[in-house]
Amino acid sequence: MIIDINFDKFSENYRINELAKQSDGSAFLQSGGTAILATVVVDEMAESKEDFLPLTVQYVEKLYAVGKIPSGFIKREGKPSDFETLTSRVVDRALRPLFPKGFNYPVQITIMVLSVDENADLQTLALKVASASLFNSSLPVRKSVSAVRIGRINNKFIINPNKLEREHSSLDLFVAGTKDELLMIEMRAVATFDQNIQNSNVIPENKLLEAIELAETQLKLENTQYEKLFLPIGRETKDIKLILHELPEGLMTFIENNYHEKLENSLKQLSQSERATILLKLGQEIKSMPVDEINVNWEMSDILEALQKHKRKIMRTQILETGKRADGRGLRDVRPISIETNILPQVHGSCLFTRGQTQALVTLTLGSGDDAQMFEELTKVSGQQEQFMVHYNFPGFSVGEASRMKAVGRRELGHGNLAKRALESSLVNADGMTVRLVSEILESNGSSSMATVCGGAIALKAGGVETKELISGVAMGLITEGDKYAVLTDIMGLEDHDGDMDFKVTGTRNGISALQMDIKLGGISREILSNALEQAREARSHILNIMEESVSKLEVNYDILPKVENIKINPAKVGDVIGQGGKNIKAIIDSNSVKVDINRETGDIKIIGRRFRDVENASLQIRRLSDDRTPEEIYPVGSFYNVVVKQIAPFGVFVELPMGHDGMIHISRIAKTRITNIEDHLKVGDKVRVEVLSVKGKKIELQKA
């Protein structure tokens, strides 16, 4: 049976539980030339962990979907690409809240992309087909989840933009939810030229709220339609027992009466490992009490669970009733921040960013176009190049754990991708350059991804990379009980674990560059969302003040920086630059250790070198060879220049002028009084400001200004 669903801009055809019939649920979706199969399988042997859903989502792209044979020696699909891993993570975060409390059975959702056309929005379709397979399965889930992507062109929002529209959009907003609740938001501003949008690399908070409201309307429309059509055809729900653990009678009362003060004090231990140690000691203390004293023999697991629950209650009540947090901060306060720049002498750029007990060491490496990351997209015919990379590492010692170094997981990829989306739109186009940021998390107690964003923005500056504006980031939290709520600025690990929302916002003072929100309580009001965005804007501004002060003091080490420079000369002068038999260009390449690419027809020249100064010197030499002007035209009498002393002679000093020509300062023009020893006043390498006195052919006479 094929179910046809038509919306304004697209149609979807579903085949429910007709393919992969041995699974607990399946859905085959065709939209245009794209076809995706999703399956759901449940293992009815429950996991022993309480309040944990062992859900695994695997999104897989098949290269035959676009008529490609895998490259490399082994002609089959290998390990998941970053896009596959990130898409799996998106689907997991959107579907996990649908499962009822106490469902502790392993669930595997597999999404296979079998056919693709170039207009496909694969993340949106993957979530839709996964939701359809789960909704119509034998699992106790009867809510539909859909996804909507919102773009923005010429100040107008577009629902589910096609490929061409996505390429010209200044906004990429991905929203997932049910017909009544938002579950997840991901957003990034796209650097694009749009005359109707000021600061087109960020989006103002009020405009973002408009876009989210538009997405909510579309989600309600789509999910209402899905539930209406799917409800009559879904499989009968299995009789699966929910494991709802209840604590022994009297245990919570005992802890509230006897351990309230000790648990209250434990909240002041800011690190996760310290709190865990305190709770374990309290649990051992209770467990070791004589049975005749407490009249019951409680299990250690129950005691620890009760301690955790009461600790959570204390933290949330304190925030809602007093407006004070466990570390003494108010709701809007940001933890103390310190910033150190270029602490690694041979690294192109580095920043040690510390906020409270979260510390990120972010490094910058610059390379040429040859260093770009190669990857393939199903919707693109040829291979793609990634010239801006952000890699995030989270070793166990950052949270006090003695664990071995592991391969990069989904969380690390997700945090690195968020930081990349946050910073990417601030970069000024550097043609031919590859930029890699690596964030080593050295200490973590809340939002290391936002420390990565702040540290990354400064590391770019520390390495001389041109950016439009500094980007800062902050993680927001939420505590709700009934009609009361409190929005928290710069949450720490405790507030993330026991709170109701994880809301990461990055941007400038003028707007947002990236956003990621996961809602744990199911749905969020427009009022709360608006307040959270406003508090985040205040926090970003505060953090930017500190970052700007740090940037104003940093010194870029140009001596170790690579550089790519693009210049354009008159095509008729290309021969002069190359020289007879390539003599001139070979001399420039050899003396400066650079690579030079010349387009004879257009006169475009690209210079690439591992040292900033070498590229600048090669550029000056090329400009000099290609310049049609005479020295008299280049250096008018009376003009001033900042130069460097190259050579000292008995009668004066020689300096190199801009555009590569040499000039001389006679000994009589170095100082206002007569001197006999030049080296008492100038040495090789000194920087000096000079004035042009006369130009006769190639002889340029100068005086010290």
Give yes or no: residues 47 and 153 share one domain. Answer: yes
Task: Give pLDDT, residue 442.
Answer: 95
Buried b (16+ CB within 10 A) or exposed e, 49-83: eeeebebebbbbbbbebbeeeeeeeeeeeeebbbb
pLDDT value, residue 340: 96
Residue 504 has pLDDT above 80, yes or no: yes
3-state helix, strand, coil in the chain (%, to 5): 35, 30, 35
The pTM is what? 0.83
Could you tell me if 539 and 334 are in contact, meaning their C-beta atoms sit under 8 angstroms apart? Answer: yes
Q: Which of 267-281, 482-496, 627-641 has the highest mean pLDDT?
A: 482-496
State pLDDT tens for residues 112-163.
999 999 889 999 999 999 999 999 999 999 999 999 999 999 889 999 998 8
> How sure is the predictor about 404, in pLDDT bands with cuts at 50, 70 and 90?
confident
Is 246 domain-assigned?
A: no
Position 343 in a domain: yes
Alpha carbon of 39 to those of 42, 65, 422: distances in Å? 10, 18, 33
Predicted pLDDT of residue 196 = 44
Are residues 156 and 36 part of one domain?
Answer: yes
Q: What is the pLDDT of residue 381?
A: 63
Q: Are residues 341 and 388 in the same domain?
A: yes
pLDDT tier at 298 (50, 70, 90 boundaries)? confident
What CATH number has the domain bearing residue 613? 3.30.1370.10
Q: Are residues 225 and 163 in the same domain?
A: yes
In terms of residue numbers, what domain contains 508? 337-550
Of 322, 348, 378, the position where a domain reaches its end is: 322
Q: Is residue 237 part of a domain?
A: no
Band of residue 430 on the pLDDT scale cut at 50, 70, 90: low
| Residue 132 belongs to domain with CATH number | 3.30.230.70
User: pLDDT exceeding 70 applies to what percent of the chain?
Assistant: 95
Residues 359 and 496 in one domain: yes
Tokens of 70: 């895998």
Q: Supply the pLDDT for residue 246.
A: 84
The C-alpha atoms of residue 504 and residue 516 are separated, in whole angstroms, by: 5
**Whether 500 and 614 share a structural domain:** no
Of the given ranges (324-328, 335-339, 414-418, 453-457), which has the lowest mean pLDDT?
324-328
* 536: pLDDT strictly greater than 70: yes
User: CA 494, CA 263: separation in Å to the nearest integer?
Assistant: 13
Do residue 126 and residue 259 come from a single domain? Answer: no
Q: Identify whether the C-beta of residue 15 lies closer than 8 Å to the C-beta of residue 27.
A: yes
Q: Is residue 685 assigned to a domain?
A: yes
Residue 18, in any domain of the structure: yes
- pLDDT for 445 beyond 50: yes
Q: How far is CA 47 from CA 25, 55, 67, 138, in A?
A: 21, 11, 41, 19
Residues 100 and 124 both lie in one domain: yes
Asked whether residue 438 falls in the same domain as residue 511, the answer is yes
542 with 571, same domain: the answer is no
Q: What is the CATH number of the domain that holds 683?
A: 2.40.50.140
SS3 state of residue 481: strand
Residue 195, pLDDT score = 41
Cα–Cα distance, 454 to 351 (Å, whole number): 9
Q: Final residue of a domain: which of 607, 628, 649?
A: 628
Lowest-confidence segment of 32-41, 264-273, 696-705 by average pLDDT: 264-273
DSSP E strands in 523-670: the ranges are 563-568, 594-598, 604-609, 640-649, 652-656, 662-666
What are residue 359's DSSP bridge partners?
Answer: 354, 443
The answer as to whether 597 is a domain residue is: yes
What's the whole-number mean pLDDT along residues 174-186?
Answer: 93
d(CA 376, CA 382): 7
- Residue listed under structure tokens 């754990």: 401
Q: Is the same domain home to 201 and 282?
A: no
Mean predicted lDDT score pLDDT of the chain: 88
Residue 218: is it exposed, middle or buried by C-beta count within 10 angstroms (0-12/13-18/19+)? buried
pLDDT digits (tens, 9 = 90+) for 268-279: 766 666 777 888
Report d(CA 493, CA 303) in Å as an integer.
Answer: 22
Find where tokens 């002060």 sit: 549
Q: Is residue 389 part of a domain?
A: yes
Does position 47 have pLDDT exceeding 80, yes or no?
A: no
Whole-number pLDDT of residue 197: 42
Q: Which two tokens stand for residue 119?
A: 């207009």
Q: Are residues 78 and 167 in the same domain?
A: yes
| Region 358-386 average pLDDT | 82
Q: State mean pLDDT over 592-621.
A: 88
C-alpha span between 626 and 605 (Å, rounded): 11
Indicate the number of domains in the chain. 5
Residue 694 has pLDDT above 80, yes or no: yes
Does any domain span residue 241?
Answer: no
pLDDT above 90 as % of the chain: 48
